[in-house]
Amino acid sequence: MTENLIEAAADEAVTLTSELIRIDTTNTGDPETVVGERAAAEYVAEKLTEVGYEIEYVESGGANRHNVIARLAGADPSRGALLVHGHLDVVPADPGEWSVHPFSGAVQDGYVWGRGAVDMKDMVGMTLALARHYKRNGIVPPRDMIFAFLADEEAGGKYGAQWLVSNRPELFEGATEAISEVGGFSITLKDDVRAYLVETAQRGIRWMRLRVRGTAGHGSMIHHDNAVTKLSEAVAKLGRHQFPLVVSDSVREFLDGVTEITGWDFPEDDLEGSVAKLGNISRMIGATLRDTANPTMLDAGYKSNVIPSVAERPSTAASCRAASRRSTANWTNCSVPTSNASGWNCRPSRRRSTGRSSTR
């Protein structure tokens, strides 16, 4: 009987995830163009109230930025509550780059497809299915559980978690631990050896905006002070730059742990080469070995036959991430060598949390 109930909850998690993906909650980071999480929050609220939850439905400081919080009483109210939370928003998706439509929620070939299937409507669907399973079957957990479905994670949480903590802290009263995305997934290593990663921190991040000054002119003339050309050279140099290796204590401990269960060595003189043995996660682990700077958006000019005097747009941006103990404040003054790119500078556009390398 219990096994059948669990199987039913697992099947429902697939359905809920698929239906959540069909709700476009694209977060562009621009309040003028963001779709908002309201429709998804209303969906979650309906699914929770349907099985008997009393919910808190909260708009968090911006139009259509909605959150849903529900609490399930546990057997021992003196124990700290467990917060299980996920975000309802997703990053933009271009349908032309997908083999299935990113907001179709298609279930095929044994997978649920679409934007958010990994980050993180899959976990939202599982969390919602678990909450419904507990309530529907009268299951009382050992301690209180708080289920939170939040807005605006993809743009820093200003209109989601950050707003709720600042303005509605009572919603999380008594919580002593929390579970959310990333934590707990497994990786398969040598000879089917499975390991579970525990996040110890997150890399610091700062988005930078580049600005270049030149001389305006007509596109038909010879021009030696073209702001667009200089910006392109600077962006290319930034994107190619490789920062020095910095191995934090937590990353070294992770690598030592992998050595212990696989026998693989990670020598300092060939660290990046040996990390490649980790397969699918090598790109993630590799990103904890050094700071990174990746150009992400590029735009300049206003007419095809006019050379602008300034090449700067909010979308000429770089995602700068600190893997070491250095604060992202070090990114305020760009230190990447930029020879032959005179007349340009960069400044912080937005900043997120700083931290050490995050893999263990």
| In the chain, ranges of CATH 3.40.630.10 domains | 2-180
Q: What was the pLDDT predicted at 337?
A: 39
Residues of the chain with pLDDT under 70: 1, 182-184, 312-319, 323-360
Tokens of 273: 């080469």
| In the chain, ranges of CATH 3.30.70.360 domains | 204-352
203-238: burial string, b at 16+ Cβ within 10 Å, e else = bbbbbbbbbbbbeebeeeeebeebbbbbbbbbbeeb
Q: What was the pLDDT predicted at 335?
A: 40
Q: What was the pLDDT predicted at 212?
A: 87
Q: What was the pLDDT predicted at 341?
A: 41
Distance separating alpha carbons of residues 264 and 281, to the nearest angstrom: 15
The CATH code that applies to domain 2-180 is 3.40.630.10
Q: Summarize pLDDT for 63-79 with one digit per residue, the tens.
A: 899 999 999 999 999 99
Q: What was the pLDDT predicted at 218?
A: 87
What is the value of pTM for the model shown? Answer: 0.75
Architecture of domain 204-352: 2-Layer Sandwich (3.30)
Q: What was the pLDDT predicted at 90?
A: 97
* Residue 101 backbone dihedrals phi, psi, to 5 degrees: -65, 135
Q: What was the pLDDT predicted at 199?
A: 79
